[in-house]
Amino acid sequence: MARGKSFIKTNPDRFRLNQLPYLLAILPYLVFTLLPLIYIFNHALKPFDELIEYPPRFFVRRPTLENFGELFRVATTSGIHVSRYLFNSVVITAVVVFLSVFLSSITGFALSKLKFKLKAALNRANTLALMFVGVAVMIPRYLIIESLGLIDTFFVHIVPFLAVPVGLFLIKQFIDQVPNELIEAAKMDGAGSFTIYRRIILPMIKPAIATIAILSFQAVWNDAGTSATYIDSDQLKTFAYFMNTLSASSNVVAGQGMSAAAALIMFVPNLIIFIVLQGKVMNTMAHSGIK
């Protein structure tokens, strides 16, 4: 038996002349999309005199990092510095991304390739969960979190985000494409279920894993609602929540520079993780089975 596989590249390596009309068509949309990002970059680097300048200028003339310095010198009324909020966000995001990828992938493997009772019911329950938006389950989620004793604890930032129905659905669909003969051959060689998951399944679902990592990262890193709803202690709140409080600053003009600096700090990690993982998301492997 010969195993075959083919690769579908969605990002061509070379520019072709017949692509020019498509590039010209999306150019206005690209410019319109980039304008807010360019504005944030310029506003974050403007000194105070350019922030209060009238008429205002779009582009910065004398770039400076003083807005970032001012941002990290400021403290809330409770004495909590920005570095604490940023540390909380980094730790929470790292833990959630790792655990959500692991739980989604190993559960998807179980629902796709293992045999056990209630397997079909669990699949239907996950599909049903895809139909509910976050707002619709806000009250039940609050009651569950309260009953578990997670209110005003660090774990309230982590536990609710570990359930990723769309991630489980996507990974299961990927694993469904893996030939059952490949799994059976590994079992005949003495491989256990976890070995099959680690050495066969994981390498074959990297595009799905990259997608789930991006979605989980963005959901957790940009989340301010958890800190506002479930957290009372300032030392447990996140950077996204702190950024939202900057708009309430008494000095509105000076606060614009700090708000832009905070927005830039929020945006750059999203850009970096997408650039790092987008190759695995865009260039997927099409499994042709066993011939």
Domains observed in the chain? 3-15+81-290 (1.10.3720.10)
Mean pLDDT computed over 172-191: 88
Q: Look at the block and give the residue holding tokens 């994981």.
A: 202
- Interacting residues of 148 by C-beta distance below 8 A, sequence separation 6+: 159
DSSP symbols for the chain: --EEEEE--SS-SS--GGGHHHHHHHHHHHHHHHHHHHHHHHHHT--HHHHS-SS--SS-SS--SHHHHHHHH-B-TT--BHHHHHHHHHHHHHHHHHHHHHHHHHHHHHHHH---TTHHHHHHHHHHHTT--GGGGHHHHHHHHHHTT-TTSGGGGTGGGG--HHHHHHHHHHHHTS-HHHHHHHHHTT--HHHHIIIIIHHHTHHHHHHHHHHHHHHHHT--HHHHHH---GGG--HHHHHHHGGG-SSHHHHHHHHHHHHHHHHHHHHHHHHHHHHHHHSPEEEEEE-
How does pLDDT run across 248-272, given as a tens digit for each residue?
554 565 577 788 888 889 999 988 9
- Alpha-carbon distance of 214 to 202, in angstroms, equals 17
Res 287: pLDDT: 39
- Alpha-carbon distance of 97 to 23, in angstroms, equals 34
What the block records as the tokens of 270 is 């999203």
Per-residue confidence at 114, pLDDT binned at 50, 70, 90? confident
Measure Cα distances from 120 to 10, 61, 116 in Å.
34, 62, 9
Inform me whether the pLDDT recorded for 143 exceeds 80.
yes
Res 15: pLDDT: 67
Res 134: pLDDT: 77
Amino acid at 115: K
Query: What's the pTM value of the predicted model, to 2 decimals?
Result: 0.81
In percent, the amount of the chain with pLDDT more than 90 equals: 25
Q: Label residue 152 exposed, middle or buried (CB < 10 Å: 0-12, 13-18, 19+).
A: exposed
- Alpha-carbon distance of 25 to 28, in angstroms, equals 7
